[in-house]
Structure 1
Amino acid sequence: MPDLLTLEGRKQRAKFRAWHRGTREADFMIGGFFDRYHADWGEAELAWFEALLEEDDVDVMAWAMKTQPAPPRFEGDLMRAMQELDYVDIPR
């Protein structure tokens, strides 16, 4: 059955998945990245993020913190933005 979600519907699904990773650290990093940048995303950017959500959190976090190189399929402007880490807002 084809995926009938609109771009906005896919963003809502991605937001849920970004904020429900399993650890607080991953939630803040991946969810925070989504919250900061998703408003300007089109099909290509959202597809990139949806693919990123399929990866293990430990890998995504390592790529974002530059402790491991990101695979070529994730390199580019979005990964560079993720590596800034200026979107992580940890509540006190």
Structure 2
Amino acid sequence: MTIDPDSRLRRLRFRAWHRGFREADLILGPFADTHGQSLTGEQLDTLETLLEQSDREIYAWIVGQEPTPEAFETDVMAMIRAFRFEAHASRPTGDGA
């Protein structure tokens, strides 16, 4: 059974937003929303495999608290790390400026 690309992307976006670990949700969800449509089929495969890992591990790899296993040191992980900094820089500071 083949899943159409739109359904696959919707499922990935849902999984990225509903991790159960809020810090991971706030990185992976917006990443999937922003970049999911432009990922290749192979990159979507990589993201699906990544999302099968535990939330705390994924988060630790993204923020550099733990070394990323070689199997997960991919272009998708690099994109997620870069996105984390871009998203953080674009957030309001809360100082009213």
Q: TM-score range by the shorter chain?
A: 0.7 to 0.9
In the alignment, the residues of structure 2 paired with residue 8 and residue 74 of structure 1 have an alpha-carbon distance, to the nearest angstrom, of 25
Question: 1:90: Cα distance to partner?
Answer: 6.7
Q: Percent identity?
A: 34
Question: 1:37: Cα distance to partner?
Answer: 1.3
In the alignment, the residues of structure 2 paired with residue 54 and residue 60 of structure 1 have an alpha-carbon distance, to the nearest angstrom, of 10
How many residues matched? 90
In the alignment, the residues of structure 1 paired with residue 76 and residue 40 of structure 2 have an alpha-carbon distance, to the nearest angstrom, of 12
Q: Which runs of 5+ in 2 are unaligned?
A: none
In the alignment, the residues of structure 2 paired with residue 73 and residue 23 of structure 1 have an alpha-carbon distance, to the nearest angstrom, of 22
Task: With a CA cutoff of 8 Å and minimum separation of 6, indicate the structure with the bigger relative contact order.
Answer: 1
The residue that corresponds to 1:23 in the other structure is 21
Counting only pairs closer than 5 Å after superposition, residues 33-52 of structure 1 correspond to structure 2 as 33-52=31-50
Q: Hey, which bits of structure 1, 4+ residues long, moved more than 6 A?
A: 89-92
Q: Larger Rg: 1 or 2?
A: 2
The residue that corresponds to 1:57 in the other structure is 55
The residue that corresponds to 2:67 in the other structure is 69
CA RMSD in angstroms, aligned pairs only: 2.0
